[in-house]
């Protein structure tokens, strides 16, 4: 399960502020939730007196790279994406707070700061038509996984992070 953690991954914010510059670049990935959350971040920063440039519509890897290279100053990201995708771990941590703390600690070594968690959840789920589930005896994700071995032509519509 993925828990979303509004990051405001801001190593650079402190640096930018210390030089007196008040322009911040807010990034966003290329899906609706990201546009909404990042727009909220932009508005909060503007209300606090910052000038904001929005760089929305990036893939996960592009957003992460933009943060690492200073092309953006912050964006909302997910520990459930960071742990396996950016940090390369295969074994998932299921406890949201434990996962947050693990990602936060490891990413600090990469020069990335995760701020407090947001109070909402971005758990993925799969949906199939009722008749499809009945025809194939699907009640769990494990049932669906077995079906993928039996029917290699089965098609899924998912984002990359979910597939991983």
Cα–Cα distance between 73 and 8 in angstroms, integer?
Answer: 8
Quote the radius of gyration of the chain (alpha carbons, Å).
Answer: 18
Enumerate domains of the chain plus CATH numbers: 4-108 (3.40.190.10), 130-163 (no CATH)
DSSP 8-state symbol, 84: I
Cα–Cα distance between 86 and 78 in angstroms, integer?
Answer: 11
pLDDT, averaged in runs of 10, over the chain (164 residues) = 39 46 91 94 96 96 96 95 95 94 97 91 83 94 91 83 66
Cα–Cα distance between 10 and 88 in angstroms, integer?
Answer: 21
């Amino acid at each position: 399960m993925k828990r979303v953690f509004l990051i405001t991954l801001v190593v650079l914010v402190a640096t930018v502020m210390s030089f007196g510059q008040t322009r911040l670049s807010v990034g966003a990935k290329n899906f609706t939730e990201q546009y909404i959350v990042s727009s909220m971040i932009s508005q909060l920063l503007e209300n606090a007196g910052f000038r904001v440039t929005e760089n929305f519509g990036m893939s996960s890897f592009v957003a992460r790279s933009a943060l690492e290279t200073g092309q953006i100053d912050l964006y909302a990201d997910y520990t459930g994406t960071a742990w396996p995708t950016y940090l390369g771990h295969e074994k998932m941590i299921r406890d949201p707070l434990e996962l947050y703390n693990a990602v936060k600690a490891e990413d600090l070594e990469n020069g990335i700061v995760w701020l407090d968690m947001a109070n909402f959840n971005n758990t993925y789920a799969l949906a199939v038509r009722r008749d499809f589930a009945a025809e194939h005896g699907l009640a769990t994700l494990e049932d669906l996984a077995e079906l993928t071995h039996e029917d290699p032509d089965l098609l899924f519509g998912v984002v990359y992070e979910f597939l991983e």
